[in-house]
Amino acid sequence: MELKIRTMAEWAASGESPEFLFWVGCAGSFDDRHKKVTRAFCEILQNLQISFAVLGTEESCTGDPARRSGNEFLFQMQAMSNIEVLNMYGVKKIVTACPHCFHTLKNEYPDLGGNYEVIHHSTLLAELLAQGKIQLKEEEKEAVAYHDSCYLGRGNGIYEAPRNIIQGLKKELKELKSCRTKGLCCGAGGAQVFKEPEPGNVDIQSKRSQEIIDSGVQKVALACPFCMVMIQDGLNKHGKDKEIQVVDLAELVQQTMI
């Protein structure tokens, strides 16, 4: 079923303003797997009658990969272009499902004149659950592991919201061997996802995937498109991709809500 989501241009044309701008991000827009996360999150917002908009074709990359790769000139070009669009629409609150977009919009755009209230979708979903706005199905309790994203956890100190979602959905939270401040990177951060890894004795992607396998769960939740690619690929390499389901927190909520 096709989702009908209004753009900021359409809201502006009608003289209205939504509560949130949903920053979809490159992965959420173009990666086939993460498009499903985008859809799940949008359906949750629509079901709860939360007003939001997207930029559509006016959204471009935040510039995160450019800056992490060392191309400061390109980063500032991309950032200034986005800030011009956001400020033109008078955007106040932004929600995004990508920790990389979240970090860049929240912590790096202010230096260039982009000042917004930016929240990660895990924080919003946790708040909605705590407020009792999400009605849950009656289901058997299942164990779910959570993988901490570097940019969400160590980068911005968001550890509790994702865990509150899992427990708020009446799931059994299984902590991985390396978690919270000591959580292992999936192997994609710092623009590593776009290049071949340096030679070493242990592949961080393989090590993290093995920790998930060792936890004994059949489902692992995460909150980052890059982590999703790397963890899914790591489980594939271990031959466990059919045994362990990899889901975003938005998908976990959507699967459980009435």
* Beta-sheet pairing, 20-23 with 143-146: unpaired
Q: Over 90: is that where the pLDDT of 129 sits?
A: yes
Q: How confident is the model at residue 191 (pLDDT cuts 50, 70, 90)?
A: low
C-alpha torsion 20→246→183→164, nearest 10: 50
Quick: pLDDT tens for 36-85: 999 999 999 999 999 999 999 999 999 999 999 999 999 999 999 999 99
Q: Over 90: is that where the pLDDT of 193 sits?
A: no
Q: What is the DSSP string of 114-157?
A: ---EEEEHHHHHHHHHHTT-S-B------EEEEPPPTTTTTTT-
β-partners of residue 248 are 222
- Arithmetic mean of pLDDT, 174-181: 98
Quick: pLDDT tens for 104-118: 999 999 999 999 999
How many Cα atoms occupy the beta-carbon half-sphere of 129 within 13 Å?
24
Cα-based angle 155, 197, 182 (whole degrees, multiple of 5): 35
Is the CB of residue 85 less than 8 Å from the CB of residue 12? no
C-alpha torsion 228→229→231→234, nearest 10: 170
pTM of the model: 0.95
Q: Over 80: is that where the pLDDT of 122 sits?
A: yes
Structural domains for the chain = 8-124 (3.40.50.1860), 136-256 (3.40.50)
Quick: pLDDT tens for 136-168: 998 888 999 999 999 999 999 999 999 999 999
Q: What is the pLDDT of residue 140?
A: 83
Q: What is the pLDDT of residue 201?
A: 85
The 3-state DSSP class for residue 75 equals helix
